[in-house]
Copies of this chain bind each other. A is one copy, B any other.
Amino acid sequence: MKNNIRGLRKAMKISQEELAKRSNVSRQTINAIENNKYDPTLNLAFTIAYLLNTNVDDLFQFEIKENKRR
C-alpha cells in the first residue's frame, strides 16, 4: 500500500511534527507511514486524508491481491 502523504503534506508546507499533532499521533507514526513501514489504522487514514483535504481512496494506492480461494 503506497500513499502520497509526503507530497500533499509538503504542498501544504507543514512538517511531519505538525501533521502528527493535528492527527493526534506521534511524529514517528507519520514518519513510518510516509516511509511505508506499515499502514495506518483506518481511523488514522481517514484523519490524515481529511487534514490533507483529500480522501482515503485517493490518498492511498491499494493494489488488489487476487485470492487463491480456499
Is A43 interfacial (CB 8 A cutoff)? yes
Most chain B CB atoms below 10 A, which of A22, A39, A50, A57: A57
Most chain B CB atoms below 10 A, which of A22, A42, A50: A42
Q: What's the number of copies of this chain in the assembled complex? A: 2
Binding site for B on A (CB under 8 A): 1, 21-24, 39-43, 45-47, 50, 55-57, 60, 62, 64, 67, 69-70
Query: Can you give 15 contacting A-B residue pairs, CB < 8 Å?
Result: A1-B42, A21-B69, A22-B67, A23-B67, A24-B67, A39-B41, A39-B42, A41-B41, A41-B42, A42-B60, A43-B62, A45-B56, A46-B60, A46-B62, A56-B57
